Structure 1
């Protein structure tokens, strides 16, 4: 009987693997080059770059409300709507170079689609596999996404190096290809909805949990918003604005980062088992502090002309970008920390949603403030601010009450990372 159930679900699982792979590919061909697009097509400055994060990050807050209102449709149907929005936004950006304000509207539509899909993807995947296969299959899901993200970076590198892709041409082929990919995913989800006999519906009430026991997790969530936004937005902006690097260079760094991540993520799980959550929180905090201080000095050197824009300083900047990618992957530690202190396991999802909302709110604020700091005082002060803020992570690692027990194991870590 059990084998029959597994066989019955194989088609749905195969389709879903394909959906995840194509979604990662589409994201790599769109989201992965947006910073270069803003610079090359609109010649935005650092302040404008910060403002753009409002339409990009606002969907991260709104999506939680939208999903809770559309729960009656089921997760797959909501995912269908999400992929359609992603395709529509990119379709207009591919065929047009609209005025800046209009571009932000299409960017919002695309981002809304992706932010709707992210929290749904894990729930659909978990519903398609059997309990005894959860760790193994969720690990495969993440592996598929990572592999196709790396494939997208390869395509970006080749496309821009050969001149096939251009962000200033009247028709932006790279965005149209990404739109077609999301349209294919849209069709695959419609097909999946027809073959999944029992609708996948997870209770997603708009419920935020606020307990004093979770105060340190909330602090860590806020700090994630600060760190993520500063490095994700202004880290590449150092390469794009100060060093005039194009999308092919960013793509190469993405390829290297994804390749290292294939080995780094499993290693991180082993280190968590061996050293425990508290020590890894220390490592997480220190890694951010070191990377941001170093990045600040490099940004200062480039902007003042003290450092050469070729050779070793540039290579060091590349290394720091890759190291920061590794640091951001360590955010899974925070999810595992929450699980270790949860008063009730049923509160984890709601608490993560609350943390995600705070993350996105802080991200929007930091992007705006970061643009002001860059243009008024200098790029280095953004990173020095991030390094100083990361001292909060260090303090939390020291004072937080952590329940180190046998319940926090590798399988949980896989779930925690995927749910990020």
Structure 2
């Protein structure tokens, strides 16, 4: 990264060296490490480290600490360009994933998970900022949907290789983690040297930004983070603990989910563009209330693995609609607020993540069904909050209570 190029001048570069091409390259590289880590995690910790619900809850609490501290990005970008930070974070994620199997104890897994999580969460924070700066408001919903599709395709390739080769080649956790993490790290290194540093037209504030007029966005981020944790931590764990899924079976379920995401993510982006953020988020939250309620029913009514697997796929598709929350913020934000607010939002999103997995790990030991009932309640709260989003949000008209002003107020 020896040169600097203004975003307006990037069109003169070869197509593969343009800023949007970099976003798509990173979108393909990140899931290879993260999705492979996720696919193997539940089997790895149960078979190698003898984890129970309490242990997995604490592991995910540790994993979410860097997300809670994502606000530190504001300090880092004072001294480091966002694009550089994104690539360095991506490389850290890859390296930490690669060596995961070298630490097969509770303490070792927690330490290496913390390192990979720093890479993941700092990458995601800066990447979201770059997306909203490098895409126009008109193209953002469609392009964000395409990025989801590309990430799903990369994850699909990873899952497909695991499903096809795990048993025939007698693959080990170490071999798979090394291959996936090493690939992501190498892509990050390549991108660092192959792409110029792109300068967006609107300089980003390098200070803490917490504006009153973004209050609804902050609340929706908090609820999304709390609700998401229950799914990430316990839905996959349930498939292994209750239904005895092996590695290739868990990965096969993820593979089906990714196929659906590849097909529907671009359509979801178009739907957000046509119907607006309010309707898209209301549809997502209503669907999540239903899905989480049915998750609880698996324990109350002893429904089988087919129902659980179907709900898992539907759950993932609904979460893909969360891109509407990004575009909602893009429409109401001052252009210079995007980077610092992305960091603040990531911290808010992870407030519950620091304590919720560990706390619910104890509840899981008593009643797994109640964990999912609690998630349904959180989704209901999000639905009520989404009713406050105006049909056409913009600065000065962030909620249905805000009067439409010609210019957004400073606070």
1:416 equivalent in structure 2: none
CA distance in 2, matches of 1:315, 1:65: 43
Change (3 A) 1:371 1:403: same
| Residue in 2 that maps onto 1:165 | 171
Alignment of 1:11-410 (within 5 A): 11-13=16-18, 17-66=24-73, 68-94=75-101, 96-121=102-127, 140-167=146-173, 172-192=174-194, 196=196, 203=204, 205-211=206-212, 213-301=213-301, 306-307=302-303, 313-340=304-331, 342=332, 344-375=334-365, 377-398=366-387, 400-404=388-392
2:3 matched to which residue of 1? none
Deviation at 1:198, TM superposition (A): 6.1
Scaled by the length of structure 2, what TM-score is found?
0.82
Question: For the structure 1 residues 5 and 130, does the alpha-carbon distance in structure 2 shift closer, same or farther, using more than 3 Å as the test?
Answer: farther
Q: How far off is 1:178 after superposition?
A: 1.8
1:317-365 CA-to-partner distances (Å, cap 9, x unmatched) read 100000100111121222333445x374544554443232111111222
**Structure 1 residues 236 and 267: alpha-carbon distance in aligned structure 2, compared to 1, 3 A threshold:** same
**1:351-385 deviations in Å (ceiling 9; x for gaps):** 4432321111112222112101111x210010111
Measured against aligned partners, the alpha-carbon deviations of 1:222-254 in whole angstroms (never above 9, x if no partner) come to 211121000111111110111111222222222
Q: Is the 8 A contact 1:64 1:206 kept in 2?
A: no
| Distance (Å, rounded) in 2 between the aligned partners of 1:129 and 1:332 | 13
User: Is the 2:145–2:269 Cα contact (8 Å) retained in structure 1?
Assistant: no
- Tell me the equivalent position of 1:417: none
Query: Do the aligned residues in 2 keep the contact of 1:59 with 1:108 (CA within 8 Å)?
Result: yes
SS at match of 2:209: coil
Cα deviation for residue 5 of structure 1 reads: 5.4
Partner Cα distance (1:231, 1:81) in 2: 28
Structure 1 residue 21, shift from structure 2 partner: 2.4
Contact 1:68 1:204 in 2 (8 A): no
Aligned length: 387
Q: 1:87 to 1:200 in 2, by over 3 A?
A: farther
Residues 251 and 71 of structure 1: CA distance in aligned 2, closer, same or farther (over 3 Å)? farther
5+ unaligned residues in a row in structure 2: which ranges? Answer: 1-6, 398-411
Q: State which drifts further: 112-121 or 364-373.
A: 112-121
Return closer, same or farther for 1:16/1:100 CA change in 2, 3 Å cut-off. Answer: same
SS at match of 2:367: coil
Q: CA RMSD in A?
A: 3.3
Which one is further off, 387-396 or 197-206? 197-206
Q: CA deviation at 1:275?
A: 4.1
Unaligned 5+ runs, structure 1: 308-312, 409-420
Q: Is the 8 A contact 1:300 1:378 kept in 2?
A: no
Once residues 387 and 240 of structure 1 are traced to their aligned partners in structure 2, the CA distance between those partners, rounded to angstroms, is 22
Task: Say if 1:86 and 1:109, in contact at 8 Å, map to a contact too.
Answer: yes
Richer in helix (by share):
1
Following the alignment from structure 2 to structure 1, what is the Cα–Cα distance between the partners of residues 22 and 351?
Answer: 34
Rounded to whole Å, the distance in 2 between the matches of 1:125 and 1:387 is 30
Cα 1:153–1:221, aligned 2, differ >3 Å: closer, same or farther?
Answer: same
Kindly tell me: are residues 86 and 137 of structure 1, through their superposed partners in 2, closer, same or farther at Cα, counting changes over 3 Å?
Answer: same
Q: Distance in 1 between matches of 2:248 and 2:49?
A: 19
